[in-house]
Amino acid sequence: MGPVGLSGDGDVLAVRAGGPLRGELRVPGDKSISHRALLLAGLADGISSISGLSDGADVAATAAAIGALGAAVESSGDVLSVRGGELREPQSAIDVGNSGTSIRLLAGIAAGCPFSTTLGGDASVNRRPMDRVAEPLRLMGAEVDGADGGRRAPLRITGGRLRGINWQPPVASAQVKGAVLLAGLFADGETVVRERVPTRAHTEEMLAAFGADVRVAGDEVAVRASRPAPFEFVVPGDPSSAAFWMVGATVVPGSEVTVHDVYHGQGRDGYLRVLARMGADLTVTPSGDRQVRLGCRWAPLRGVTVAAAEVPNLIDEIPVLAVAAAVADGPTRFEGAGELRHKESDRLRSVLEGLAALGAAAEVDGDTLVVHGGAELRSGRVEGAGDHRIAMAFCIGALAAAGEETIISGWRSVATSYPGFLEDLATCRES
Ligand code: S3P
C-alpha cells in the first residue's frame, strides 16, 4: 500500500512512516475567524461577502445557523455572501453538530433576540459544559434553560432586553468572551469582559474592524449596543491547522514545509513559541496584516516546561505538541492543562492513550500533562475519540513511527476542521 490508506467509509486511516515531508501549503481558513465572520455578517444590516472560509463541518454548522435565524446565505465559488440584519425565530432547533464554538457564540446572539432559540449538537457537544456561557447570559437578563439543570445543551434561550455586565470569566475561554461580547451588542449600557489570561482576540478585533462599538484597554474588552456594518473580508489560514505541518516537519527527519498566509495574533502563536523553545528550526515571516508565512525544517528537540498561563494560547495545539514532546530529549510538562478535559474529547486521556499506542510514555499528574520524551515511536492502533485534533495529531506521530502501519479509527472527525488534510499530506510527500 501507499503511505496512507482510508477505509471505504472514510473512518479508519492506515498510515505508515515514509520519506520526509517537503512542500508548500495553504491550510483552510481559520475556524475561529470563519465562525465570527459569519455571525457578524448575520448581524450586519446589508450584504457582506466573505472568502477563504474554513471548509470544515463546524463552520458549515454556523452558516446553516445564521440561515435558520433569518440571514440569506449564498455561495458562489470561494465567496459566501450573507444578507444580514433583522433576525427571526428559527422554525426548529438549531443543530451545531460537533461545534462548541458555534453553540457558545450563537448563545450570545440568541440571548439578545426577543424569541426562543433551541441550540443542540452531537453527543460530544451535549456533554460539554455550557454553564460558563449560560451564567453570564442569565445575569444579562436572558432566560437560559438546558439539560442537567441548565448546565448542558440542548439549550433553550429566550432573549430580549439585556443589560450590560462587568464579567470576569472563571475559565480562560475565547468562546465565553465572544458569547458575552456578542450579547453586549444588544444590551443597555456597557458590557465588559475582564480576562485573567488573555485568550484569542478575534471577537474584539473583528467587531472593531467592522465598525461595532468596542473598546479594548489592558485586560478589559467593552462593548456597547451597536451592530457591525456590512463588510468584505478574506479569512486568513488557520494556525491550528498549520501546527500539524510544523510539528510534522520537525519530527520527520529531512523535512522542510512552508505554510503560507497563516493568521498570527494574540492567543494563536503560543505553539510556535513552545516549538522554538524546544529547539525547532522555525521561521515566521510577516506576509500581511496579522499574517505570516511559516517555515519549519527537521531539528532535534528538547523537553520544556509549558506554564499554565501559556495554555489558553495553545489550547488546540497541545495534542500535536505532545507528539513533538514524545520524541524530544527529556520530559515536557504542560502545566494547568485541565481545560483539555472539556474539548471535543477528554484530550488529556486521548493524548495519553494515543501516545501509549505509539510507544511513548506520558502521565497526568493533577492538571499537568507530563510527556517523558526520548521515545522511539512505533506503529500502533490509535482511537481518534471522535476528536479531529487527536486523529490528526496521531497521524503526524505515525509519520515518525517505525514498524508497520498505524491504524487511526474515527478519522471522519477530521472533516470538523480540515477535510483536505490527506490531500495536503500527499502534496508534502510527493513534491
Ligand atoms: C475557540 C476557542 C477555544 C478553542 C476552540 C475555538 C474560539 O476554546 O479551543 O477550538 O473560536 O473561540 P475555548 O474558548 O473553550 O478555550
Domains of the chain: residue spans and CATH: 4-28+236-430 (3.65.10.10), 31-234 (3.65.10.10)
Q: Name the residue among 45, 93, 95, 52 with its Cα closest to residue 75.
A: 52
Buried b (16+ CB within 10 A) or exposed e, 64-103: bbbbbbbbebeeeeeebbbbbbebeebeeebbbbbbbbbb
At 333-389, the pLDDT tens digits run 999 999 999 999 999 999 999 999 999 999 999 999 999 999 999 999 999 999 999
Residue whose Cα lies nearest atom 11 of ligand 1: it is: 32
* Ligand 1 centre distance from Cα of residue 101 (Å): 6
Decide whether any atom of ligand 1 lies within 6 Å of the 345 Cβ.
no
User: Looking at ligand 1, which atom is closest to the CA of residue 105?
Assistant: 12
Residue 8, C-beta contacts closer than 8 angstroms, at least 6 positions apart: none
Q: What is the pLDDT of residue 430?
A: 65
At 157-211, the pLDDT tens digits run 999 899 999 999 999 999 999 999 999 999 999 999 999 999 999 999 999 999 9
User: Looking at ligand 1, which atom is closest to the CA of residue 312?
Assistant: 16
Decide whether any atom of ligand 1 lies within 6 Å of the 68 Cβ.
no
Q: In the structure, what pLDDT confidence band is assigned to residue 18 with cuts at 50, 70 and 90?
A: confident
Is 301 a residue whose pLDDT tops 70?
Answer: yes
Among 316, 329, 365, 387, the one annotated catalytic: 316
To the nearest whole number, what is the mean pLDDT of the chain? 97
Q: What is the pLDDT of residue 429?
A: 87
- Pocket probe for ligand 1: among 34, 173, 202, the residue whose CB has the most ligand atoms within 8 Å is 173
Region of residue 421 (phi > 0: left; psi between -120 and 50: alpha; otherwise: beta): alpha
Residue 58 annotated in active site = no
Decide whether any atom of ligand 1 lies within 6 Å of the 344 Cβ.
no
Can you tell me the distance from the alpha carbon of 57 to that of 236, in angstroms, rounded to the nearest whole number? 18
Mean pLDDT of 137-163: 97
